[in-house]
Amino acid sequence: MNPLQEKSERKAYMRQTGLMYLLVIVLAGFSQGYIRSSLIVPDDAVATSLNISGEEGLFRLGLGLDLIAFLLDAIISIFLFKLFRAYGQTLALTAMVLRLLAHPAIGSLNLLNHYLALQAALAPDFLAGFDGPQLQSMSLLFMEAHRTGYLIAGVFFGLHCLLLGLLLYRSPVPGWLGILMIMAGIGYEMEAFGDFLFPGNEAWLAVLVGVTAVLGEVTLTAYLLIKGFLISKLNANDVR
């Protein structure tokens, strides 16, 4: 492949990765940041169950949006590997595998808890052996399990962000972009291990990971989109 073809292919990967990353942020952000956060009431099984059953369509939409986001994330993992493998083949491969494990694997399986919470809230005939309060408690229990599954996936995703940050720092992109991704990775790890080992700190850890993730992932997405769409107009010689 000649240099012009390589440059064109790289632009295409950057555009596609940026667009898919943007979709993941929007879809997963809406599902987690709006749907679940508005329907789940911590420590209140009755309100949570009634919210889920009363907004069944919205709750099902959250599951569907997450599943689409995780499918896109699997493709993003491969595209990021192709974009940055030149700056560390083993590092890029490890980062790809960790991202595949985080959301396409663990995150997708964790959606079973989301679905089971809905089933308990709707109280179908096959759960007739349980009374109302029991089913309501089960619904909240499954959502707590879903939250825990999210944290476990975050451990893998956080390490992916750390390694991706190192790759970015090695590459011709601005060094601060790599630093922001490393900070995002640290944020994910702090939230997961902090919630598990030091309960009671969930609120500020959630704010921490939200800020670091926005700074790292949203900035990377914007960079990929800008460079992917404008690099030819700017007549750039590399990805810088």
Give residue 27's pLDDT: 97
Give residue 9's pLDDT: 82
The amino acid at 234: L
CB-CB neighbours of 120 under 10 Å: 25
Give residue 2's pLDDT: 65
Give residue 93's pLDDT: 97
Give residue 238's pLDDT: 47
- Residue 179 tokens read as 């630093």
Q: Which residues contact 164 (CB under 8 A, 6 or more apart)?
A: 80, 84, 95, 181, 185
The amino acid at 155: V
Q: How far apart are CA 135 and CA 74, in angstroms?
A: 34
Note the pTM of the prediction, 2 decimals: 0.91
Give residue 6's pLDDT: 72
The angle, 0 to 180 degrees and rounded to 10, between the axes of the packed helices 202-213 and 175-197 is 160
Give residue 239's pLDDT: 44
SS in 3 state form for the chain? CCHHHHHHHHHHHHHHHHHHHHHHHHHHHHHHHHHHHHHCCCCCHHHHHHHHHHCHHHHHHHHHHHHHHHHHHHHHHHHHHHHHHHHCHHHHHHHHHHHHHHHHHHHHHHHHHHHHHHHHHHCCHHHCCCCHHHHHHHHHHHHHHHHHHHHHHHHHHHHHHHHHHHHHHHCCCCHHHHHHHHHHHHHHHHHHHHHHHCCCCHHHHHHHHHHHHHHHHHHHHHHHHHHHHHHHHHCCCCCC
Q: Which of 148, 144, 223, 240 is nearest to 180 (CA)?
A: 223
The tens place of each residue's pLDDT in the chain, 240 residues long, gives 566 677 778 888 999 999 999 999 999 999 999 999 999 999 999 999 999 999 999 999 999 999 999 999 999 999 999 999 999 999 999 999 999 999 999 999 999 999 999 999 999 988 989 999 999 999 999 999 999 999 999 999 999 999 999 999 999 999 999 999 999 999 999 999 999 999 999 999 999 999 999 999 999 999 999 998 875 454 444 444
Give residue 125's pLDDT: 87
CA-only gyration radius of the chain, Å: 20
Burial class (CB in 10 A: 0-12, 13-18, 19+), 128: exposed
Q: How far apart are CA 197 and CA 79, in angstroms?
A: 35
Give residue 166's pLDDT: 97
